Structure 1
Amino acid sequence: MITLENVTKIYQGGEKEVKALDDVNLQIEKGEIYGVIGFSGAGKSSLIRCVNLLERPTHGTITVNNQDLLRLSPKELREAKRDIGMIFQHFNLLDSKTVFTNVAMPLLLMKKPKEEVKKRVEELLDFVGLRDKADNYPDQLSGGQKQRVGIARALATQPSVLLCDEATSALDPQTTNSILNLLKKINQEYNITILIITHEMGVIREICDKVAVLDQGEVVESGSVFEVFARPKTAVAYNFVSTVMHDEIPESVHQLIRSQGETNQIYRVVFFGEATGDPLLSQIAKHFNVEVNVLFGNITELQGIPFGNLVIQFQGETKEINRVLMYINQQEVTIKEVLEDAG
């Protein structure tokens, strides 16, 4: 559906070159909701603007719906872009036009018949819940309502692909949830492929099937949302995951452990699926001569799969703790030491 092969984007700033994208490769399948996350300056906006050629890449290939966009004639490209809708962070509405006209604009530019335009716009305003706002102007709307108008406008030409450029970053949390639910509804009812760029891992967790982590113009990690949340391979991915999992140990707890003057070892144990219901810690307490202290823990759900995360402290002889670790490694969990010899 969307393929980026070896995409590089270089901006010229006088005598200095800025490489916004560096050999990016992505494969987004039809019907997926795919997220790209990165900090400010990572290259996210450049990437999404390259997908519909608002920015032309310096090198590489961009294929959408089996068409190599860079090889199309200007007329063919205009046709291809009608199949790619885009939602912007700051809405990009025409303040002097009504909600109805804002949504109708892509169809008016295509010189569609008046009745066809009216029918399509009314259908879309019903879909986004703004039928009663058709005659209002953008400055009479809330931020969430403005974004719904932007979404309706992006859907006007019945695209198969929807690009979302930080579509929720200007909204409050409650409004963000309503917009994400609307995007899920669009994906499910219209089978539209959605590409979202964001700096908020909560958006990725809530809506996406897959995610790519962008850092300094490079894709440093990609996979299913579950894989990246459960087993982040890079520091930048781990930092993003931590923002929504809230699994960091406060310094006050570290100080308490150090003050005990004993050898303490701290581990993060991650549980998946059915393993979240297994009495692992109870079994350890029964069969091994160690004390187990749960410092933090939570169970959430990722893509319908239970996902548990515990930060635990073992106290006891090193030999016995090693036996515990061997036992845990035989279970359907992942364990990683986060602090050794804190005493």
Structure 2
Amino acid sequence: MSKRTWKELEQGVENGCSPWACRRSEARRCRTTSLPVTEAMQRSLAALFAARCRPQRWESVEASTNMWEILRVFTHWLAALPEPPTDVDAIHAVWNAWKLGRTTRVGGYHQVTRMGALLIDDPQVVGEVAEAMGKRIPKPRAQETSYTNAEYDQIKTPARRVFRSASIRIEHNARHLEQWRAGVFTEGGRDWLIGEVLDGLARTGHVPCRPRGRGELQAVARYARALGGGSKQHTWQRLYLTRLEATSLGVLLMAEFGLNLSVIHTLPVPRASAGSGPDGHPTYRLELVKRKRGSGHHHETRNVTDLGSGSPGRLITQALTATRFAREGVEALSPGTNCLIIWRTGTPSRGAGVGAWFRLGIGENSASDWGQLAGVAVGSPFRAAGGR
């Protein structure tokens, strides 16, 4: 992470706001509301957070983002108390209540231990409460069980349906774009206009637009008519995966290769082995980073071959095809990103991605929302796959 980025992050935190919600502007104004605690508490927490937002403390965006979410949970919990503490030096009166109400589950365990590790750096935290925050807490066992075969089918079926539909849509428009670039269509006709839009969409990430007011954009009328409308379904979704579709691809990778969410989230683009493919069966090299393993065992490689429909390698071919326009767009904006799962958002912002429109990987929120969006009552689909 660049020094400039770290500096901007600290500035955002000092304003009591999410570290990734600050606009890149001279004033660096924050786009989120302040934490629901007193001004004194905000300043103390901001100082603690900013002190850790350095390469020597937090080496990744993910680490600081996860801590920010815990901080938000903690401050909302404080705000709901009958008499919330006004600053960090008064947290000792409620710390045990926070601890006892959180440590029965793995998620609560992380909230308590990480919040304690953050607060203990404050010089106001001394004595017994500092000892309590620094005391080791036994980690509870995860309460989730492996999927049954029926649950596995319940997950894979909608994931396959959603991703297949997206793949067909993107491939159909990709063929139309190829024909336009080859000069197949008569200039000025509907098919020609669609091809012109697709060419711009592939190069820039969006269709030709004009200002609509309040900072919103609207597709140029003649292009919207050719496309059949100006909605996201008619415009940028022609070449890019949505959040739901990208998560569905992640679910299929989990089911096919037994990968967990953290591995899928950062999965590099698989490369076809040198010399593979003359017989029509390309072999891909998967480079997996498994951070939960011990030192020296974080990296693993697998070779998978596309032997046709239903083979593990065919899923990799489909993933590469469905994400190729997004990967090309991200490569132009940030060379060397090398992430397989990239999707486009309809709400431009500065987030965990590249530019205003593209997002990388699959976050915890996407995983949690997937079941509801896909119409499956499973919560997050990325659980142990022992019931396969």
TM over 0.5: no
Bigger proportion of residues as helix: 2
The TM-score normalised by the length of structure 1 is: 0.21
The TM-score normalised by the length of structure 2 is: 0.19
Bigger proportion of residues as strand: 1
